[in-house]
Amino acid sequence: MVGAVVMCVLLANELEIRPRTDDAYVRANVIGIAPHVSGRIIELNVVDNQPVERGDVLFVVDPRPYEVKVMEAQANLELVNLAIRGYEDRIRAAERSVDVAKAAVVAAEANAAYAAQYLARVQPLLERQFVTADHVDDARSKAVASAAQVQEAQANVARAEQVLQQTVTELGQDGDVNARRQAAVAQLDGAELFLDYCVVRSPIDGYVTNLNIVEGEYANTGQQVFGLVDRSVWYVMGYFKETFLKFLEPGMTVEIYLMAYPLKRFKGVVQGIGWALYQNNGATMGLLPDVSPTLDWVRLAQRFPVRIIVEDAPPDLPLRMGATASVIVLTREGELPPRRFPWLGRFFNWLGLDN
């Protein structure tokens, strides 16, 4: 009886120091490969389960429709440039017209000033009979006509500036930026971008998976055609009972054992502990929660996912997503401890059963 109690205490202490679970599986990030453009696949460069490197060409969508779009955009840009050059000539002509009109205003103002001064000189001479009344009337008429010429010249300046502003507006010019040319350049850049999208490249180092297409099949924009398993980061998702979570923290070292390599030991690090689980009992149905009217006498502890990053996996031991694993969290150790039974590993090594 005493022995049983001692064993229970030792077991409880061991589970506190080294929480463990056999409910664990190897995981990896998977991304779906979908083209940005639609078209028939004219070149397929991969097969299912093939390893690929970042930047490798996976497949090519028929680029001919997008090449036509690029040529149309290039032609449109050339037409816009020709139109802009024509408008620039018109603008220069309008600017010259404004300058001429402003010069005419200056001349008219000078004539008006002279006519007004001459009238001011001859009017006092009429009383002294040094000039005739006709002479004064002629000077007055010239002064009025000169003032009218100033107004007409100013009106000509306003009309010339209006023509200049209208030409600038039609050109779409704002300072050094031309809106029409910018729109044409943006159209060409967009066409070239979609042409570049016809060549679909691998965004990661990974493995092709679930490839079920052949050359000649039609690919739709945004529709996934196969997946890539990211082989740069592998992790194990271990499901621990909620009674163990108080002993776990991110950053703890983990011993990982895979069913595929039972005698190999991998090192891992706890990345994070799950915060939520979906439960049918209590799930919201419409506006009200759905709660079961019964409760079993025996209540089982929930299992929460714990993400464990696999560190320094040997390249000669490939990992596969979904592989079964067992994990032991070393809550008080920063590195993997020495094996408890090293002679057992050497024995299996001698038998050639290490893998």
What are the tens digits of pLDDT across the range 161-216?
A: 787 777 666 655 555 557 788 889 999 999 999 999 999 999 999 999 999 999 99
Contact between 33 and 228 (Cβ < 8 Å):
yes
Contact between 17 and 333 (Cβ < 8 Å):
no
CA 115 to chain centre: 72
Residue 111: which H helix or E strand, with range?
helix 64-127
Residue 84 has pLDDT above 90, yes or no: no
**Alpha-carbon distances, residue 33 vs 6, 30, 85, 223 (angstroms):** 57, 10, 45, 8
The confidence score (pLDDT) of residue 47 equals 95
What are the tens digits of pLDDT across the range 319-335?
A: 999 999 999 999 876 66
CA count, 13 A, side-chain hemisphere, 45: 14
Distance CA 223, CA 220 (A): 5
Q: What is the pTM of this model?
A: 0.68
Q: Could you tell me the pLDDT band of residue 269, with boundaries at 50, 70 and 90? A: very high
Q: Could you tell me the pLDDT band of residue 349, with boundaries at 50, 70 and 90? A: low
Residue 344 has pLDDT above 50, yes or no: no
Q: Out of 67-76, 184-193, 278-287, which region has the weakest mean confidence (pLDDT)?
A: 278-287
What are the tens digits of pLDDT across the range 125-162?
A: 667 666 677 776 776 777 777 778 878 878 877 887 78
Supply the angle between the helices 179-197 and 64-127 in degrees, to the nearest 10.
Answer: 170
User: Do the bridges between strand 226-241 and strand 303-311 make them parallel or antiparallel, or are there none, so unpaired?
Assistant: antiparallel
Higher pLDDT, 284 or 45: 45
The confidence score (pLDDT) of residue 8 equals 47
Residue 105 has pLDDT above 70, yes or no: yes
Which of helix, strand or coil describes residue 62? coil
Contact between 253 and 330 (Cβ < 8 Å):
yes
Distance CA 254, CA 332 (A): 11
Q: What is the mean pLDDT of the segment spanning 9-26?
A: 70
The confidence score (pLDDT) of residue 312 equals 80
